[in-house]
Amino acid sequence: MSKQVVLITGASSGIGYATAELLLEKGYTVYAGARRVERMKPLEDRGAHISNLDVRNQSSVDAFVNQAITDEGKIDAIFANAGYGVQGFFETVDLEDAIAEFDTNVFGLARTFKAVIPIMRQQGSGKLIACSSVVGMVSVPGMPWYPASKHAVEGLVDGLRMEVKEFGIDVVKIQPGYIKTEFAEVAFQYLDKAMASPHAEVYQGKMENFRHNFAQALDNGAEASTIADAVLSAIEAKDPKRAYRVNMDAIQGSFLDRVFGDRAIDRIMPMMMLRKH
Ligand code: NDP
């Protein structure tokens, strides 16, 4: 049997990188894309096909997908993982930054899936794997635009799943909790910007608490390899789950939401994210 072909967006660090490493180790043919190509050289050394990919640009996405299909003649799965978080209280965040975040996290994923669906439909098989988040199920104060983008991903792919099932295409959500990656490096740049905004004064103390609590949570987070394992499970499953939730905080987040509802979330999340240290 020919090797399974998997594409990964956002493979230059964190979860995407760890997933590429694991799939290479397991013998998959991996196409890895991100803007920082040099960061993926070690993956190339281990056999990955690396590409300069910007998911904000349809022709960049098309070139990424076309290369795989030209070389391999098929695509078995794609992990749409590229993403980042805009942090800052709602009032302090520029809408342009929120729009740009949606362009990567939501429309970047949509561009990726749009490029691959006709191929998978023709094949009569394939797996579309979306990197969502625990904050795709519950929201948090201090960075509402990031949960907003992941809620959008959730709604989009849940609808898509029902549309493409009949073509043999599975749609899967990966819902990580806190994972130790470079996520905070990008997110804190937005938090710095938010803290310098003209509307920041009333939120200043809370945003400082948020930064501390978020950094601590991420430091105590799970390894990226836990999510790579979940992606591998989804790829290997004959009948994959709709959602993979592997970290304890992600499991708790969905449990809180379902069992206690919005009122409890409104009390618990500020205590967790904005508490003084
Ligand atoms: P990292 O910052 O370590 O990795 C983000 C990846 O996304 C990088 O490879 C980056 O590559 C890529 N990326 C960003 N923008 C683009 C773009 N326009 N085109 C192509 N690639 C892009 O963070 P994580 O590994 O944590 O993030 C991966 C995914 O996991 C994201 O979707 C994130 O929202 C999600 N997630 C993370 C959690 C965590 O706690 N870390 C929790 C829940 C979900 P480059 O800059 O080189 O283009």
Task: Look at residue 147 and tell me whether its pLDDT is greater than 90.
Answer: yes
Q: Compute the distance between CA of residue 243 and CA of residue 113 in angstroms, rounded to an integer.
A: 17
pLDDT at 36: 98
Using pLDDT thresholds of 50, 70 and 90, give the confidence band for residue 253: confident
Task: Look at residue 264 and tell me whether its pLDDT is greater than 90.
Answer: no
**Beta strands of the chain (E only): which ranges?**
5-9, 29-34, 49-52, 77-80, 126-131, 169-174, 243-244
Question: Could you tell me the two tokens for 98?
Answer: 């929120």
Of the ranges 12-21, 51-60, 229-238, 253-262, which one carries the lowest mean pLDDT score?
253-262
Ligand 1, closest atom to CA 134? 43
Residue with the bigger pLDDT between 246 and 242: it is 242
Q: Quick one: average pLDDT of 224-253?
A: 94
Fill in the amino acid letter for 104. Answer: T
Q: Report CA(13)–ligand 1 centroid distance (Å).
A: 7
Q: Where are the domains of the chain?
A: 5-273
Task: Look at residue 226 and tell me whether its pLDDT is greater than 70.
Answer: yes
Tokens 């740009």 belong to residue? 100
Q: Quick one: average pLDDT of 255-264?
A: 84
Q: What residues does ligand 1 touch, defined as CB less than 6 Å away? A: 9-16, 34-36, 53-56, 81-84, 104, 108, 131, 133, 176, 178-179, 181-183, 186, 218, 221
> 65-81 pLDDT, tens per residue?
999 999 999 999 999 99
Largest CA distance in the chain: 62
Task: Look at residue 181 and tell me whether its pLDDT is greater than 70.
Answer: yes
pLDDT at 85: 98
Among 176, 141, 149, smallest CA distance to 19 is for: 176
pLDDT at 34: 99
Measure the CA angle with vertex 224, ends 222 and 229; round to 5°: 100
pLDDT at 1: 67
Question: Could you tell me the two tokens for 39?
Answer: 């960061």
Task: Look at residue 238 and tell me whether its pLDDT is greater than 70.
Answer: yes
Q: Compute the distance between CA of residue 255 and CA of residue 149 in angstroms, rounded to an integer.
A: 21
Beta strand 243-244 with 29-34 is unpaired
Task: Look at residue 254 and tell me whether its pLDDT is greater than 90.
Answer: no
Q: Report CA(11)–ligand 1 centroid distance (Å).
A: 8
Tokens 């499970």 belong to residue? 233
Q: Return the CATH number of 5-273, one of 1.10.10.350, 3.40.50.2300, 3.40.50.720, 3.40.50.620.
A: 3.40.50.720
Using pLDDT thresholds of 50, 70 and 90, give the confidence band for residue 139: very high
Q: What does the mean pLDDT of the chain come to?
A: 96
Q: Which of 28, 84, 146, 190 is catalytic?
A: 146
Q: Report CA(81)–ligand 1 centroid distance (Å).
A: 6
> 78-125 pLDDT, tens per residue?
999 999 999 999 999 999 999 999 999 999 999 999 999 999 999 999
Query: Which amino acid residue places its CA nearest to atom 10 of ligand 1?
Result: 10
Ligand 1, closest atom to CA 224? 25
Packed helices 95-105 and 145-164: angle between N→C axes, nearest 10 degrees: 30
Ligand 1, closest atom to CA 179? 40
Q: Under DSSP, is residue 18 helix (H, G, I), strand (E, B) or coil? A: helix
**Overall pTM > 0.75:** yes
**Beta strands of 5-146 (E only): which ranges?**
5-9, 29-34, 49-52, 77-80, 126-131
Catalytic residue check, 146: yes
